């Protein structure tokens, strides 16, 4: 017979209840998924659009990361952040994201390693040389801070070290850590998206195309469905965004009207416009002057809120151009000299489009002013340096400028904006005007739906250099004289992403990982104080606890008579 009053039975039942409770909690926790990020800036969280992308994956995505092997402290932190991000991707994708870390230097012959480096470079993953000091010795190591994302038979290389290289290595790595989620998620999106957004490349006005725009077009085609479009005849509503890249001929009123009505119907447009005609093929002439293009777009841009001025900007922080400075026998001596008409942009707005970008090189850029446009938010995206100036048209553009000795006071303008993001509901250019011949008032919209435009006063931003020997286009932003690749392509791709997908992955670029460096001077000054707090207080608490416990024990047992008392 069971004795229900038995203490032993009660303990067994309590244990059994506890085991059943733990089993139920584990079952429930497996059904209810959640993760907590207790950091102030949410560094371990991923954005909602990224979660939606990962949850929608139908097949397995494999990511092979090449940042492995023996690394210094900074790159170990970078590697750890990549691993943590990929682990979050794996969890939110229901294990459809699989990843590995591979050290390219392991078990490779010199020939195989050279082939491997070339293969990674073709995928866009550039090797990085890291120099460290160990035991007083200088140690150089080549690392590959990138990954290859594979989905089915398709794959895409992702270069992950994308911070501003003008900063310290620690800051560059930190900026790259902030961009890990976007770079990887964007590559996954490009490979898995079956219905890409449509981007139209406007033609018919002498816009760039062919080899000189090949690099940007190839990058666009990896993510979007890109096609040429005529403003005069094509159905513009089929496109999520339009790109007008360095036109040189006039737009007709009909084309302007159709572009205007496209914008009124929430169409997005990226304007890359040269205000003055200037090119390096003509600057060898001492009396060459840059005159304005007649594009017939000034009144339209003015109605939307901006005005590109008839000038060219010179900047003391500029790209370089080779110039013959001397002659040694029959051999010319060539030197790279600053060319003030090629501003180097390193001053950006705090915006997802431009956050953590490396330097961008512009060519023959004009200044931009804003004008009143009710309901339109105007955000300057990037600026010149603090030493710049404007030269009004007609501008003498000659290589003789390279030999001039400028004084700092000659460049008295600071942080001139050369690109604007315009957001809001625009008012039609034809609101109080006659419509072009053949257009009906019945379909006319005088005010528009909320949309976005970007205006950049440099059409060459999207132009790549073509190798004169091979005839092959070089990567966009690559400087063949200095051997450096600027971030022109990243900037343009971010612009297009922001236009076509306003609530999409581009907002992952807003992620922030703060550096909290140790204040060494304060640490040294307060060393004794904190040693006392960290060592003395715990020991003091233990002593107090012992005294209190001993006092209570004596007080408790003092009530009981000793064995000798009667």
Q: pLDDT tens digits for 408-442? A: 788 889 999 999 999 999 999 998 888 988 888 88
- DSSP states of 281-321 as a string? TTTTSTT-EEEE---S-HHHHHHHTEEE-SEEEEESSEEEE
Q: How far apart are CA 11 and CA 9, in angstroms?
A: 5
Look up tokens 């159905």; give the residue: 235
Q: Where does 179-335 have alpha helices with state H?
A: 180-192, 214-221, 253-264, 298-304
Distances in Å between the alpha carbon of 237 and those of 166, 205, 486?
A: 42, 20, 34
The model's pLDDT over 47-82, given as tens digits with 9 standing for 90+, comes to 888 888 899 888 999 999 988 888 888 888 899 999
Q: For residue 534, give the DSSP letter.
A: I
Q: How far apart are CA 474 and CA 416, in angstroms?
A: 29
Find the farthest-apart pair of alpha carbons in the chain and give their distance in angstroms, rounded. 126
Within this chain, domains 48-190 and 196-510 share the same CATH topology:
no
The model's pLDDT over 435-478, given as tens digits with 9 standing for 90+, comes to 988 888 888 998 889 999 999 999 999 999 998 888 889 999 99
The model's pLDDT over 348-389, given as tens digits with 9 standing for 90+, comes to 999 999 988 999 999 999 999 999 999 899 999 999 999 999
Tokens of 537: 């207080």
Q: How much is the pLDDT for 49? A: 87
Tokens of 434: 């006659």
Q: Residue 449, Cβ neighbours under 10 Å: how many?
A: 12
Q: How far apart are CA 317 and CA 362, in angstroms?
A: 11
Distances in Å between the alpha carbon of 351 and those of 151, 169, 354?
A: 31, 22, 6
- The torsion angle over the Cα atoms of residues 200, 206, 210 and 212, rounded to 10 degrees, is -110
pLDDT bracket for residue 120 (50, 70, 90): confident
Q: Is the distance from CB of 373 to CB of 428 less than 8 angstroms?
A: no
Q: How far apart are CA 276 and CA 311, in angstroms?
A: 7
Instruction: Indicate if the pLDDT at residue 229 is higher than 60.
Output: yes
Tokens of 504: 């999409």
The CATH number for 196-510, chosen from 2.60.40, 3.40.50, 2.30.30, 3.10.620, is 3.40.50
Task: Please report the beta strands in 127-263, taking only residues with DSSP state E, as ranges in sequence order.
Answer: 128-134, 137-143, 146-151, 154-159, 198-203, 225-230, 241-245
Is residue 408 left, alpha or beta, with left meaning phi > 0 and alpha meaning psi from -120 to 50? Answer: alpha
Instruction: Find, among 217, 206, 301, 307, the residue nearest to 259 by Cα.
Output: 301
Tokens of 21: 């409770």
pLDDT bracket for residue 342 (50, 70, 90): very high
Tokens of 428: 């039609």
Instruction: Find, among 186, 193, 198, the residue nearest to 241 by Cα.
Output: 198
Q: Name, of 23-32, 208-217, 542-551, 552-561, the range with top average pLDDT.
A: 208-217
Q: What are phi and psi of 483, to 5 degrees?
A: 75, 20
Instruction: Indicate if the pLDDT at residue 516 is higher than 50.
Output: yes
Q: How much is the pLDDT for 129? A: 81
Angle at the Cα of 296 (from 292 to 297), degrees rounded to 5?
A: 100
Q: How much is the pLDDT for 369? A: 95
Q: Residue 509, Cβ neighbours under 10 Å: how many?
A: 23
* Burial (CB count within 10 angstroms: exposed 0-12, middle 13-18, buried 19+), residue 545: exposed
Ranges 1-10, 21-30, 289-298, 303-312: which has the least confidence: 1-10
Q: Which fold has domain 48-190?
A: Glutaredoxin (3.40.30)
Better pLDDT: 331 or 412: 412
Run of H or E residues at 454:
strand 451-456
Instruction: Find, among 513, 376, 536, 433, the residue nearest to 43 by Cα.
Output: 513
Instruction: Indicate if the pLDDT at residue 107 is higher than 60.
Output: no
Domains of the chain by residue range: 48-190, 196-510
pLDDT bracket for residue 263 (50, 70, 90): very high
Instruction: Indicate if the pLDDT at residue 287 is higher than 70.
Output: yes
Q: Where does 58-131 have alpha helices with state H?
A: 73-92, 110-122
Tokens of 88: 């979050």
Better pLDDT: 529 or 212: 212
CB contact burial 291-317 (16+ within 10 A = b; e otherwise): ebbebbbeebbbbbbbbbbbbbbbbbb
The Cβ-side half-sphere exposure at 176, using a 13 Å CA radius, reads 26
Q: How far apart are CA 360 and CA 357, in angstroms?
A: 8
3-state secondary structure of 169: helix
Q: What are phi and psi of 44, to 5 degrees?
A: -100, 5
Run of H or E residues at 199:
strand 198-203
* Burial (CB count within 10 angstroms: exposed 0-12, middle 13-18, buried 19+), residue 354: buried
Q: How many residues does the chain have?
A: 566
The Cβ-side half-sphere exposure at 321, using a 13 Å CA radius, reads 20
* Burial (CB count within 10 angstroms: exposed 0-12, middle 13-18, buried 19+), residue 149: buried
């Amino acid at each position: 017979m069971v004795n229900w009053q038995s203490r032993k039975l009660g303990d067994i039942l309590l244990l059994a209840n506890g085991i059943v409770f733990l089993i139920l909690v584990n079952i429930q926790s497996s059904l209810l998924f959640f993760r907590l990020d207790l950091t102030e800036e949410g560094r371990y969280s991923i954005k909602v659009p990224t979660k939606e992308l990962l949850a929608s994956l139908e097949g397995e995505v494999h990511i092979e990361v090449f940042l492995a092997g023996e690394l210094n402290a900074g790159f170990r932190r970078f590697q750890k952040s990549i691993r943590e991000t990929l682990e979050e991707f794996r969890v939110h994708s229901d294990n459809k994201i699989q990843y590995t870390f591979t050290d390219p230097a392991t078990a490779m012959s010199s020939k195989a390693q050279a082939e491997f480096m070339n293969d990674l470079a073709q995928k866009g993953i550039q090797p990085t040389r890291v120099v460290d000091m160990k035991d007083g010795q200088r140690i150089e190591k080549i690392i590959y801070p990138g990954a290859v994302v594979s989905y089915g038979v398709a794959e895409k290389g992702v270069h992950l070290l994308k911070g501003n290289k003008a900063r310290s290595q620690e800051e560059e790595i930190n900026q790259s850590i902030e961009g890990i989620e976007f770079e990887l998620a964007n590559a996954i999106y490009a490979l898995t998206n079956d219905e890409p957004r449509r981007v139209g490349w406007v033609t018919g006005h002498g816009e760039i195309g062919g080899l000189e725009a090949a690099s940007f077009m190839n990058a666009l085609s990896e993510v979007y469905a890109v096609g040429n479009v005529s403003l005069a005849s094509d159905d513009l509503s089929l496109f999520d965004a339009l790109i007008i890249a360095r036109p040189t001929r006039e737009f007709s009123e009909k084309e302007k009207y159709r572009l205007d009505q496209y914008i009124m119907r929430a169409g997005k447009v990226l304007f890359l416009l040269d205000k003055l005609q200037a090119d390096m093929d003509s600057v060898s002439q001492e009396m060459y002057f840059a005159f304005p293009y007649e594009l017939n777009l000034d009144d339209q841009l003015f109605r939307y809120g901006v005005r590109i001025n008839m000038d060219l900007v010179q900047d003391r922080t500029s790209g370089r151009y080779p110039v013959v400075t001397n002659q040694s026998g029959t051999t010319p001596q060539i030197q790279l000299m600053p060319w003030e008409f090629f501003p180097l942009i390193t001053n950006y707005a705090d915006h997802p489009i431009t956050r953590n970008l490396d330097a961008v090189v512009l060519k023959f850029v004009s200044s931009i002013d804003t004008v009143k446009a009710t309901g339109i938010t105007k955000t300057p995206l990037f600026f010149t340096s603090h030493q710049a100036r404007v030269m009004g048209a007609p501008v003498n553009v000659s290589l003789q400028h390279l030999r001039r000795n400028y004084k700092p006071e000659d460049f008295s303008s600071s942080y001139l904006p050369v690109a604007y993001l315009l957001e809001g509901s625009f008012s039609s250019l034809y609101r109080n005007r006659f419509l072009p011949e053949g257009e009906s008032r019945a379909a006319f919209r005088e005010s528009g739906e909320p949309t976005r435009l970007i205006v950049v006063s440099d059409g060459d931003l999207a132009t790549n250099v073509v190798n004169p020997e091979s005839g092959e286009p070089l990567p966009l932003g690559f400087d063949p004289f200095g051997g450096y690749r600027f971030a022109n392509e990243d900037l343009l791709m971010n612009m297009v992403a922001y236009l076509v997908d306003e609530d999409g992955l581009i907002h992952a670029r807003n992620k922030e990982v703060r550096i909290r460096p140790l204040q060494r001077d304060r640490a040294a000054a307060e060393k004794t104080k904190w040693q006392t707090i960290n060592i003395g207080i715990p020991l003091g608490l233990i002593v107090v606890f012992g005294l209190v416990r001993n006092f209570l024990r004596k007080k408790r047992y003092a009530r009981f008579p000793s064995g000798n008392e009667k």
